[in-house]
Amino acid sequence: MTLRNRLKARLGFNRVVSSVFTGIVTFFSLLMVVPLVLILSFITIKGVTQLHWALFVSDERGGGILNAIVGSGEMVLIAVVLAVPVAVLTGVYLAEARNSKIAEVMRITVDVFQGIPSIVLGIIAYVWLVVPLRSFSGLSGAVALAIMMIPIIIKNTEESLILVPAQMKEAAYGLGAPFHKVILQIVLPAAMSGVLTGILLATARILGETAPLLFTSFGGPDLNYNLTRPMEALPPLIFKYAQSPRDDWVATAWASSFVLVVVVLFLNLLTKLVLRRWKH
């Protein structure tokens, strides 16, 4: 048989293997959705029934989570404000200084950073802030969360900036534009969807963190807006209430879990929306 005929004869077999392969790929993708759907529906069923208005407006022990919502909100906000400028600018540096030795070392550092367990970051924030200030505080919690966000945002920023075509930069430099104008007016806007995605993903990530807050914001039963004092947050609150022997406190833990999941999902959907908006 000539080779070309062998090739033709092979097509039928290839087609079968190809459909089997497509089937396997599809099957595992669907399979991976199953636990997600199960977890979400479980939390929704358990949590939705426990929702009530007092939950959101009171800090009554076991029955209201206003203190945790305020604490999470403030600490995450401060963490974003602290992390974003540092991380985005570092990302710019890594993307622009592609071949420098320093950037190479920094890239490795950032990777290692990302792998540090969050509880260790909590201890670091404890040593840096809680010990010198002699008090647990929302601020130290925010710093621990910010440290967690930084490597995620750096990576995302760097990767989306690299994708900006070099021709675009050359066009700007070709008009005599200085470095800061090229970065701020051409490169960053072109990569904005990727940078924003990184920020939103990092925010969603720290919203659910418990460990970095254990030795930093510590938690407290009462509503508190003051960042220099101990603060409650949603994840540690769930951690405490879920272990409680009282059924109504456990119910509050479920309700809080549901609230937390909804907020995180919302941020993820927002990320998708931002990506789509910027593309068109």
Q: Which is nearer to another protein, 10 or 277 (CB)?
A: 10
Q: Cβ 8 to another protein, closest distance in Å?
A: 7
Q: Cβ 227 to another protein, closest distance in Å?
A: 51
How many residues bind another protein, per CB under 8 A? 10
Q: Cβ 278 to another protein, closest distance in Å?
A: 20
Q: What is the DSSP code (8-state) at residue 216?
A: T
Q: Are 204 and 234 in contact (CB under 8 A)?
A: no
Q: Which is nearer to another protein, 16 or 38 (CB)?
A: 16
> What would the two tokens of residue 19 be?
């459909």
Q: What is the DSSP code (8-state) at residue 10?
A: H
Cα distances from 240 to residues 73, 180, 268, in angstroms, run 19, 48, 26
Which of 178-195 are b and which e, b meaning 16 or more Cβ less than 10 Å from the residue's Cβ? eeeebbeebbbebbebbb
* Part of the chain binding another protein (CB under 8 A), chosen from 2-10, 60-68, 83-91, 211-219: 2-10
Q: Cβ 165 to another protein, closest distance in Å?
A: 15
Q: Cβ 21 to another protein, closest distance in Å?
A: 13
Decide if residue 277 touches another protein (CB under 8 A). no
Q: Using CB under 8 A as the criterion, what x/- string covers residues 3-42 for binding another protein?
A: xx-xxx-xx-xxx---------------------------
Q: Are 147 and 124 in contact (CB under 8 A)?
A: yes
The answer for residues whose C-beta is within 8 angstroms of residue 217's C-beta and 6 or more apart is 71, 75, 136, 137, 138, 140, 141, 142, 230, 231, 232, 233, 236
State the residues that interact with another protein by CB under 8 A. Answer: 3-4, 6-8, 10-11, 13-15
